[in-house]
């Protein structure tokens, strides 16, 4: 009896497996039970999100989950429209390639238009879904990785041809929908060839392959009118210093960036190049550890004028800093270019890429953005994904709505803080001893040690004022 059951189970498993192969191997792409919606190959009859209306601003008292409570695109805050402060972007990879799979479990999300393949037709249909999504959400921008919008081919030529085909459709759809590319990037971490890194690989032919892939990714970003281009080095780093020539790898990385700058100028791409710091994961130690490390790298190799930084909040906390710290470090170095709007979990030590819902954190983020005079040509990219357990199509909208509302609320709060002025006054007062003749001499680099010693003898023991931290926290609380 037990044996029969086992045989039956094995047969069933075999059937399931065969079914999977049949689906993966199928050239035509149409999900089971949705044949009537597919039309010709990549087409889709009707809407991808038929139950979702265009999302509108309804104000804080609205109970409609599919509405904005705080984000009112056209409303002016501190002399600029909310949509121009925030410049929101949907990340194609999380929203349209995220399956809910994790290292322990299978995909949990089965969107209606997906057929389980990575075919070219499927890629194109997905692109159509992307533009319906961002149009209904009321976002102006989108971001992509080359390999997420188009399937990898067997050769570079085949991969490039796949990309060209999808990008041609994307161009047509974004023109019609009046949407723009915030940034493009090359996926240099998933393919096994990049296991030792891309620009920092120990293999010359891999370095060359990465160069060819980035060349193409810059070309298509330029073709789509992208306003920035991002370098995230998930595999650029080391697992062990025992087998690594760190100095040589960093030199290679700099040469790679120089060549990218030269190519960008050659083809007339005016978008900003952005480096996205992250301390580790997947690599044990990544070279673009945090904003300060990246700034130092750019200075050492004379690349400061050619790059800015894309600060991701979850990466900030992984490097042991707050997002606010990373934004301020980038800003005071003239390097704040873009924000990947997400957050981690305080109890989890890895990159969870959650939608940012903390109003206090959003207020501090927006304080940096306002001090920076905005982010343009950068913006806020939602590098964030639904939790594995959130599986309804409407969750894709709800997640973005709450992410947008949180930052919009942060903007309103930060504006209140600035208009109130008492926090700025607290900070001004803390440093007022430098608003003196000697202070000016120190800040101008004109006060030598002998002069200062003479002054100490004249003044005696200094009286030190309170830092007023709790008062500063009270002021912040008053605008939340
Ligand atoms: Mn992340």
Going by pLDDT thresholds of 50, 70 and 90, the confidence category of residue 32 is: low
Which residues lie below 8 Å from residue 176, measured CB to CB, with a gap of 6+?
A: 131
**Ligand 1 centroid to 291 CA: how many Å?**
15
pLDDT tens sequence across 253-299 = 999 999 999 999 999 999 999 999 999 999 999 999 999 999 999 99
Contact (CB, 8 A) for 173 and 224: no
Domain closes at, from 391, 419, 447: 419
Closest CA to 260 of 231, 296, 292, 232: 231
For residue 315, the CA-to-ligand 1 centroid distance in Å is: 6
Residue 129 maps to a domain? yes
Are 179 and 167 found together in one domain? yes
The one-character DSSP state at 64 is -
Q: What pLDDT is attached to residue 29?
A: 66
Half-sphere exposure of 62 (CA within 13 A, CB side): 15
Establish if 320 belongs to a structural domain.
Answer: yes
Residue 108 lies in a domain: yes
- Count up the domains in the chain and report the number: 2
Question: Could you tell me if 395 and 438 lie in one domain?
Answer: no
Tell me how far the alpha carbon of residue 356 lies from the centroid of ligand 1, in angstroms.
Answer: 12
Q: Do 377 and 448 fall within a single domain?
A: no
Angle between helices 156-177 and 120-137 (to 10 degrees): 30
Within a domain: 92: yes
Distance from Cα 351 to the centre of ligand 1, integer Å: 5
Both 106 and 158 in one domain: the answer is yes
Residue 173 and residue 270 in one domain: yes
Residues 229 and 315 occupy one common structural domain: yes
Residue after which a domain boundary falls, among 419, 447, 464: 419
Q: Which domain, by its residues, includes 125?
A: 41-419
35 located within any domain: no
**Whether the Cβ atoms of residue 139 and residue 82 lie closer than 8 Å to each other:** no
Which stretches of 333-388 are DSSP H helices? 359-371
In a domain, 162, yes or no: yes
Position 45 pLDDT exceeds 50: yes
With vertex at residue 138, the alpha carbon angle to CA 132 and CA 143, rounded to the nearest 5 degrees, is 70
Reported as a single tens digit per residue, the pLDDT across 362-408 is: 999 999 999 999 999 999 999 999 999 999 999 999 999 999 999 99
pLDDT at residue 196 is higher than 80: yes
> DSSP H helical segments within 138-193, as ranges?
146-149, 156-177
**323 and 432 in one domain?**
no
pLDDT at 36: 77
Of the three residues 382, 401, 419, the one that is the final residue of a domain is 419
CA of 98 to the centre of ligand 1 (A): 13
Can you give the pLDDT at residue 194? 98
For residues 166 and 89, membership in a common domain is answered with: yes
Paired residues of 68 in beta bridges:
57
CATH code (residue 331): 3.20.20.150
Number of neighbouring beta carbons within 10 Å of residue 270: 10
Same domain, residue pair 358 and 442:
no
Distance, CA of 365 to CA of 411 (rounded, Å):
9
Mean pLDDT of the chain: 94
Report CA-CA distances (Å) from 436 to 59, 351, 439, 451.
48, 47, 5, 15
Does a structural domain hold residue 218? yes
285 has catalytic annotation = no
Give yes or no: residues 47 and 160 share one domain: yes
Residues 179 and 275 in one domain: yes
Tokens representing residue 5 in the block: 């059951």
What is the pLDDT at residue 28? 56
Q: Say whether pTM exceeds 0.75.
A: yes
pLDDT of residue 139: 98
Question: Residues 157, 105: contact at Cβ < 8 Å?
Answer: no
Whether 27 maps to a domain, the answer reads: no
What would the mean pLDDT of 314-333 be, rounded to a whole number? 98
Catalytic residue among 145, 222, 321, 400: 145
């Amino acid at each position: 009896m037990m044996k029969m059951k086992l045989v039956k189970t094995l047969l069933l498993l075999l059937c399931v497996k065969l079914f999977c192969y049949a689906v993966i191997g199928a050239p035509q792409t149409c999900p089971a039970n949705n044949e009537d919606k597919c039309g010709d190959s990549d087409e889709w009859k009707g809407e991808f999100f038929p139950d979702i209306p265009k999302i509108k601003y309804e104000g804080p008292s609205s109970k409609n989950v599919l509405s904005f409570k705080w984000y009112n695109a056209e409303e002016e805050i501190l002399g600029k429209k909310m949509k121009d402060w925030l410049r929101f972007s949907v990340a194609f990879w999380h929203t349209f390639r995220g399956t809910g799979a994790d290292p322990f479990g299978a995909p949990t999300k089965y969107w209606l238009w997906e057929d389980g393949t990575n075919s070219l037709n499927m890629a194109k249909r997905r692109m159509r879904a992307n533009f319906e999504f961002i149009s209904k959400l009321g976002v102006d921008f989108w971001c992509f990785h080359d390999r997420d919008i188009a399937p990898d081919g067997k050769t570079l030529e085949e991969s490039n041809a796949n990309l060209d085909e999808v990008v041609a459709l994307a161009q047509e759809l974004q023109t019609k929908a009046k949407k723009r590319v915030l940034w493009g990037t090359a996926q240099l971490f998933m393919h096994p060839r990049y296991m030792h890194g891309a620009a920092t690989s120990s293999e010359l032919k891999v370095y060359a392959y990465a160069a060819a892939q980035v060349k193409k990714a810059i070309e298509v970003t330029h073709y789509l009118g992208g306003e920035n281009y991002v370098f995230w080095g998930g595999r650029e780093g080391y697992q062990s210093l025992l087998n690594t020539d760190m100095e040589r790898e960093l030199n290679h990385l700099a040469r790679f960036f120089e060549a990218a700058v030269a190519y960008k100028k050659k083809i007339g791409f005016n978008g900003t190049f952005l480096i996205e710091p992250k301390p580790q994961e997947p690599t044990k130690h990544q070279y673009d550890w945090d904003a300060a490390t990246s700034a130092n790298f750019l200075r050492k190799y004379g690349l400061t004028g050619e790059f800015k930084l894309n600060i991701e909040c979850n990466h900030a906390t992984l490097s042991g800093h707050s997002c606010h710290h990373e934004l301020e470090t980038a800003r005071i170095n003239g390097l704040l270019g873009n924000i990947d709007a997400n957050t981690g979990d305080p109890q989890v030590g890895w990159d969870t890429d959650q939608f940012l819902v903390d109003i206090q954190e959003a207020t501090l983020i927006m304080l940096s953005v306002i001090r920076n005079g905005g982010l343009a040509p950068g913006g806020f990219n939602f590098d964030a994904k639904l939790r594995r357990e959130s599986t309804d199509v409407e969750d894709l909208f709800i997640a973005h709505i709450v992410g947008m509302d949180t930052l919009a609320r942060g903007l309103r709060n930060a504006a209140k803080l600035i208009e109130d002025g008492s926090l700025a006054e607290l900070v001004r007062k803390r440093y007022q001893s430098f608003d003196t003749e000697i202070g000016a001499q120190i800040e101008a680099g004109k006060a030598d040690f002998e002069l200062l010693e003479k002054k100490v003898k004249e003044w005696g023991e200094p009286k030190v004022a309170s830092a007023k931290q709790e008062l500063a926290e009270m002021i912040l609380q008053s605008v939340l």
